[in-house]
Amino acid sequence: MPLMQYRCKKCGKKFEELVKKYDDEVSCPDCGEVCERDYSGCVYSATGKPAKKCSGNCKTCGGCK
């Protein structure tokens, strides 16, 4: 189960949530609005090395190099 970062568009709260799947719908703990993933911070490849030109959005990624 991955721990993902989220940001609420309505109130701006940033938080982490433990989810079953990366595309699960998550609601804000403060206002209850559906949140979107927050792709801030460092992104690492499966090898543990920093990924080059990676947005952290695996849906649009061509694979870690």
User: According to the model, what pLDDT value does residue 9 have?
Assistant: 92
Cβ contact 35:8 at 8 Å: yes
Cα 13 → chain centroid:
14
User: According to the model, what pLDDT value does residue 24 have?
Assistant: 87
Q: Where are the domains of the chain?
A: 1-65
Amino acid (one-letter) located at 7:
R
Residue 1 contacts by C-beta under 8 Å, 6 or more apart in sequence?
18, 19, 20
Its pTM stands at 0.59
Task: Report pLDDT digits (tens) over 19-64.
Answer: 888 788 999 999 999 999 887 665 555 666 665 565 566 666 665 5
In the chain, how many H helices and how many E strands?
0, 3
